[in-house]
């Protein structure tokens, strides 16, 4: 072990770390200057690093690949800052992580998340919902609808059944966005505005959505108590290579999860997972389970965005169970055989149910500019009742 000398260390600072003594538990003991001792799971500690390699300093989005942390991770060595306020750890998989000691202590002394018992229905979706995957029976080359030929009502029915629809020949600009969303609801304002621009050239928001790199399947608004119900993209400019949008049916994924591991499915209906969004002048945070059920036990919302997951504390045994379950869900939504890839050209609009579908993006070159907006799920449900 490597440890620097302490100079007038406050009582809530670390005095030493102790690795588990080969007992297979993968735990790390934290000894504080006031005599307090905390045992933390090595995987939990590695996942909650706050150094620049683990966490984006501006957005606080996670850089650590949570699902690549080995189950047999253990501490190799560590170094404390002079006053014990920070610790840098070298792990057995040749990775390192840094930690603010005060933040660790505050987080691990909070009341841990407690699973809530939920009733689960025999059928997770109602009869009108058509779950799909790329290998299934449904043709995903759904013909484009056109606003000029009554495509609005058809769009409501398609989004209600399969979670998404695409329109062609939509006018450019904000007026086209407002026309396209009108049959399903109204433009919802958020920190991004009402109708917003999505492009790698936009620098008003530092977020992984405003880049040219691959963006894995996720849902938006895990940091909102009422996550956007619908999301709409309207292609304004496109040239270059790549950049197809990726859609995944979250309802189909949780049905498969229940078939593969029912206990994992149930746990993900019970553990609230916090999400956060941070930028200058904005600090949003909310929590809900990855799989949200209604009072009848049917799934009504899937929430998955590990980049935006905020730190939270679970006891070691529960954390390990949670990570197995969360990792299974991640594997299912990242199974490329279930992905629907949609290329783009100007004049096309995609609208999808953000409570059901996960979306992502292939890496791209060239110009790729969209206008987009959110809309509320309650208004979409109102449109369904009238369609």
pLDDT digits (tens, 9 = 90+) for 41-55: 899 999 999 999 999
Band (112; pLDDT cuts 50, 70, 90): low
**Fold type of domain 116-387:** Double-stranded beta-helix (3.60.130)
Mean per-residue pLDDT for 63-75?
A: 92
Taking CA atoms, 84 is separated from 96, 137, 267, 299, 337, in Å, by 18, 59, 37, 46, 48
Looking at the chain, the domain(s) classified CATH 3.30.2020.30 span 14-108
Q: Find the range with the poorest average confidence among 58-62, 107-111, 155-159, 280-284.
A: 107-111
Mean per-residue pLDDT for 225-244?
A: 93
In whole angstroms, give the CA distance from residue 344 to residue 247.
13
N- to C-terminal Cα distance for the chain? 67
pLDDT in the model for residue 2: 41
pLDDT in the model for residue 21: 43
pLDDT in the model for residue 23: 44
pLDDT in the model for residue 302: 98
State pLDDT tens for residues 375-386. 999 999 999 998
Residue 150, sorted as left (phi over 0), alpha (psi -120 to 50) or beta, turns out to be left
State pLDDT tens for residues 273-285. 999 999 999 999 9
How many percent of the chain have pLDDT more than 70? 86
* 261 or 2, higher pLDDT: 261
In whole angstroms, give the CA distance from residue 131 to residue 249.
7
Class of domain 14-108: alpha beta
Residue 258 pLDDT exceeds 90:
yes
Instruction: Give alpha helix (H) positions in the chain.
Output: 42-47, 101-108, 151-162, 174-181, 250-260, 262-268, 316-333, 377-386
């Amino acid at each position: 072990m490597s440890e620097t000398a302490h100079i007038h260390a406050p009582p809530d600072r670390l005095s030493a770390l102790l690795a588990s003594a080969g007992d297979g538990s993968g735990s790390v003991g934290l000894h504080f200057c006031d005599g307090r001792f905390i045992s933390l799971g090595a995987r939990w500690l590695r996942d909650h690093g706050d150094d620049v390699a683990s966490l984006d300093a501006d957005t606080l989005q996670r850089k650590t690949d949570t699902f690549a942390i080995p189950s047999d991770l253990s501490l190799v060595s560590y170094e404390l800052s002079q006053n014990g306020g920070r610790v840098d750890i070298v792990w057995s998989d040749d990775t390192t992580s840094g930690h603010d000691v005060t933040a660790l202590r505050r987080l691990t002394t909070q009341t841990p998340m407690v699973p809530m018992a939920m009733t689960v229905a025999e059928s997770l979706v109602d009869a009108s919902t058509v779950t799909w995957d790329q290998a299934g029976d449904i043709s995903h080359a759904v013909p484009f609808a056109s606003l000029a030929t009554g495509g609005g009502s058809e769009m409501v029915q398609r989004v209600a059944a399969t979670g998404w629809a695409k329109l062609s020949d939509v006018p450019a600009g904000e007026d086209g966005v407002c026309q396209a969303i009108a049959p399903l609801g109204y433009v919802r304002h958020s920190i991004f505005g009402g109708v917003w621009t999505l492009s790698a050239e936009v620098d008003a928001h530092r977020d992984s959505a405003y880049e040219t790199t691959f963006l894995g399947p996720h849902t938006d608004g895990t940091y909102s108590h009422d996550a956007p119900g619908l999301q709409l993209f309207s292609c304004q400019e496109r040239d270059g290579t790549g950049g197809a949008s990726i859609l995944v049916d979250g309802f189909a994924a949780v049905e498969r999860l229940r078939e593969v591991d029912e206990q994992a499915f149930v746990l993900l209906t019970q553990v609230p997972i916090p999400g956060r969004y941070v930028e200058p002048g904005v600090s949003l945070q909310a929590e809900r389970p990855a799989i949200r059920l209604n009072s009848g036990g049917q799934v009504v919302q899937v929430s998955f965005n590990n980049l935006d997951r905020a730190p939270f504390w679970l006891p070691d045994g529960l954390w390990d169970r949670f990570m197995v379950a969360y990792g299974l869900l991640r594997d299912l939504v990242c199974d490329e055989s279930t992905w629907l890839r949609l290329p783009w050209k100007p004049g096309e609009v995609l609208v999808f149910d953000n409570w059901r579908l996960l979306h992502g993006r292939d890496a791209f070159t060239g110009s790729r500019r969209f206008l987009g907006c959110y809309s509320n799920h309650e208004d979409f449900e109102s449109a369904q009742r009238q369609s």
